[in-house]
Amino acid sequence: MPTAKNFFTPSEKEKIIQAIINAEKNTSAEIKVHIQNFCLGDPIKQVQKIFFKQKMHKTIHQNAVLFYIAVWNKKIAVIGDKGIHEKVTQKFWDELINDIIPAFKKNHNKCEALCNGILKVGEALAKYFPPTESNPDELSNEISY
């Protein structure tokens, strides 16, 4: 049975980290991926909890985005911080996640689907949050568990 840590292969993990790095090049926003084995209860509540636990609400422009995957109950969710909610609509998040779900359901091209989602967030946020001069990497690009 796959677990959070081997849900993606090492080379897929590298691709995901690279997608985050590429997405963050064009924006001051920060993107993270968190994977757990099991999500107890509402995934949105869980992802909010992780968001705060990882201090993702503390970015300068309040523009961090967290992708969340619960492997065993096949849940995926994404949330963005306050700054982003003022700019994009719920429809943006719904479409983003709806583009990723089929790959997870079919267990096919999951890494590609997630990377595309990450890049899409980067493109969308580049408009509202262009990179600052120093564009610091405020949050680690590594996948957390």
Site of interaction with Ca ion (CB under 5 A): 30, 137, 139, 141
Both tokens of 64, joined, read 């961090």
User: Looking at beta carbons only, is 94 or 137 nearer to Ca ion?
Assistant: 137
Rounded least distance, CB 41 to Ca ion, Å:
28
If the CB atoms of residues 30 and 81 are measured against Ca ion, the closer one turns out to be: 30
Return all residues near 13 (Cβ < 8 A) that are at least 6 apart.
143
Nearest approach in angstroms of CB 22 to Ca ion is 11
In the complex, what is the shortest distance from the CB of residue 15 to Ca ion, in angstroms, rounded to a whole number? 16
Q: Which is nearer to Ca ion, 33 or 39 (CB)?
A: 33
Distance CA 62, CA 6 (A): 31
